[in-house]
Amino acid sequence: MFLHKKELQFEAKPEKSDPLLAKQIQELIGGQFGEMSVMMQYLFQGWSVRGEGNQKYKDLILDIATEEIGHVEMLVTLVARLLDKAPVEDQEAAAKMPVIGAALSGMNPQHAIVSGLGARPADSVGNPWQGSYIISSGNLLADFRANLNAESQGRLQACRVYEMTTDQGVKDLLSVLIARDSYHQNMWAAAIAELEEKEGLLVPSTFPREKERLDLAYSLYNHSEGEYSSEGSWANGQALDGQGELRYESTPPVEGSIPMLKAAPPSTHNTLPADKDKSMM
């Protein structure tokens, strides 16, 4: 059950209308790494947690998921206010010829045509938000690593938009979201470290190592010109999983043969083999 409070957790009041900035803020709402993505990712992860012993993780995920719902509402409110009280001539032009008027004012045409000066569940160029953006695998360590990446990308994009505007009201809200993304990165990193201590580095920890080719499990193969990658910690010393030694191989192994596929049946009308012609068909 979810309960909605009418007050925003933090204010979302720009100093003035700015249709172009409203378009940019859309990326923070419905982009691949926008607030809608982390909101839905965490909700589905939290709802799918199994086992009584994992209750603290379920509560953690749903705490953050519910917070993200509020972030979406704040940004949607911000977009609406950025579109509110736009110059009268822009709105009149948009009303007569929405596409041309919106383009001339720098705004997202869909804000004028589709949503009536409201935010859209879409990114800054109009691509609709997609459920395929989210990751919810049922493995908490794998999911928490995805969450850390999502918060890293989200904070990066919010910082970039912060640098794009001089509107102090917008900066005030973005400073809140950036700070929360900072905490969420710390939080997921801590949760990852806890799970790694319990389960180990590799996901899934329940898969028996003897079922994999362990002779291939610790080598970096050189697949590019030069050997600069051999200088990294990933190519030398003990692996972080504690179970093998990392090594660099300048020549990748070749164990397979040249594949030769059988000719397709005539009904597929593929190209005839070199030793065949129509007279033989």
Binding residues for Mn(2+): 35, 68, 71, 151, 184
Specify binding-site residues for Ca(2+). 59, 63, 222, 224, 226
Q: Which residues contact 60 (CB under 8 A, 6 or more apart)?
A: 187, 191
Q: Rounded to the nearest 10 degrees, what angle do helices 35-47 and 55-83 cross at?
A: 150
Taking the CA atoms of 214, 217, 221 and 223 in sequence, report the sign of the dihedral they define: positive
Of residues 214, 144, 142, 238, the one with CA closest to residue 184? 144
**HSE (side-chain half, CA atoms, 13 Å) at 160:** 10
How distant, in Å, are the alpha carbons of 33, 132, 260 from that of 203? 23, 21, 35
- What does the angle CA 55 – CA 60 – CA 64 come to, to the nearest 5 degrees? 145
Number of Cβ within 10 Å of residue 115's Cβ equals 16
Largest CA distance in the chain: 80
Q: Contact, 150 vs 137, CB < 8 A?
A: no
Specify binding-site residues. 35, 59, 63, 68, 71, 151, 184, 222, 224, 226
